[in-house]
Structure 1
Amino acid sequence: MRIVVTGPAEAATPLVAAALAARLRARYLDTAELYPARVRPGGPTLGEVWLEALALAFTRERALVASSGSLSRARRDLIRARVPGVVFVELVVDDQAAPPRRSRWRRAKPVERPAIEPLAGDEPGVRIADDADLASIVDRIAQLLSGAGQDQPVRDQSLR
């Protein structure tokens, strides 16, 4: 089981990923911790070091759920090339509906974020609306992932 939970900052991806890992009895990894403090001039870039560390983490653990901020299609492609069988879970936040549903585990203020490249139909994974409490979101993810394999396309859940 190789899962990367992605989404904007206000989706609390580390919390959702940690809860999903607990539910699936897997290890949890916050990928923000993979960035080195610095890199050598002329050496690999921060992104290359991060990708190498992520690939290594997935090879060392049989069951791992990692959290990440929003990832571009190009970055997801690089991860898939290095981590066979990885499945992405994209948390989708509705900007109009988010404030009334905001709870203690989400950020108090929405942050500006870059344009998000949603999972495409040819990518293995699921898109989940961040529109409920943590337990409900994790339940929906676990249910959808039970049928999401490496060769299965993205499935949307509760997206309007």
Structure 2
Amino acid sequence: MSTDASPEHSRIPSGPLTPAPIVVMGVSGVGKSSVGSALASLLKVRFVDADSLHPLANVQKMAGGISLTDEDRWPWLRVVGLALASASTEGIVVACSALRRAYRDEIRRQEPGTLFIFLEADGTLLRERLTQRPGHFMPASLLDSQLETLEPLESDEAGLTIASAGGIDATAREVFHRLAGPLFKA
């Protein structure tokens, strides 16, 4: 994984946009929720952690160290997409793993204008962060399975890739500055 702040992927649509619905994505421990919340604050829009949209059965499965199957994920991904679609006129930032292209496609089926911000960090940093998160239902033991599942953004997907090694505020500000022009262009 690249830790360079210059993204390998950067595709942001141009044209008039209300703050586009944004998904801050990546594996567990990369900072999706923290950076997403900080970004939503900078954009003055609502923040939703997609973890709060999981049905109880999914949460219990992950808390038990069991990876979710696609059958577990599809209904949840539809709910994530609907949350984005329902707030598309006022703007929203959602933290969601969205690890595979098919998962992002499902979200886009509900809200086609979604921008994806892919946060990346190296495995050592991710493991360190996960061990410092007491009480989170997602155990560090599932990180390897997430890294194996991860499909970074492709060149035809709207969004950008950002290294998340620089801290929450710095990462959120970088995303904000990179998106501010295209998001609010008249």
Please report the TM-score for the alignment, with normalisation by the length of structure 1.
Answer: 0.75
Rounded to whole Å, the distance in 2 between the matches of 1:132 and 1:123 is 24
Q: Which residue does the alignment assign to 1:157?
A: none
Query: Which stretches in structure 2 are left out of the alignment for 5+ residues?
Result: 1-19, 59-70, 133-139
Question: 1:38 Cα shift?
Answer: 4.8
Larger RCO (CA under 8 A, 6+ residues apart): 2
Rounded to whole Å, the distance in 2 between the matches of 1:118 and 1:125 is 11
Question: 1:52 Cα shift?
Answer: 2.8
Q: Which residue does the alignment assign to 1:114?
A: 147
Structure 1 or 2: larger strand share? 1
Q: Which residue does the alignment assign to 2:13?
A: none
Deviating beyond 4 angstroms after TM superposition, the runs of 4 or more aligned structure 1 residues are: none
> Matched residue of 1:11: which SS?
coil
Do the aligned partners of 1:6 and 1:68 also contact (CA within 8 Å) in 2? yes
Kindly report which structure 2 residues correspond to 1:9-24, keeping only aligned pairs within 5 A, or say none. 9-24=28-43
Aligned length: 138
Partner AA of 1:52 in structure 2: R
Question: 1:148 Cα shift?
Answer: 4.9
Partner AA of 1:125 in structure 2: G
Deviates more, 1:110-119 or 1:130-139: 110-119
Partner AA of 2:25 in structure 1: T
Are 2:37 and 1:4 equivalent residues in the alignment? no
Q: Which residue does the alignment assign to 1:125?
A: 159
Kindly report which structure 2 residues correspond to 1:58-137, keeping only aligned pairs within 5 A, or say none. 58-61=84-87, 62-95=90-123, 98=125, 106-108=129-131, 111-112=143-144, 113-115=146-148, 116-137=150-171
Do the aligned partners of 1:90 and 1:128 also contact (CA within 8 Å) in 2? yes
* Residues 63-106 of structure 1, C-alpha deviations (whole Å, 9 max, x = no match): 1100012420111111112212100000011235x37xx6xxx4
CA RMSD of aligned residues (A): 2.3
Query: Which stretches in structure 1 are left out of the alignment for 5+ residues?
Result: 40-44, 150-160
Please report the TM-score for the alignment, with normalisation by the length of structure 2.
Answer: 0.65
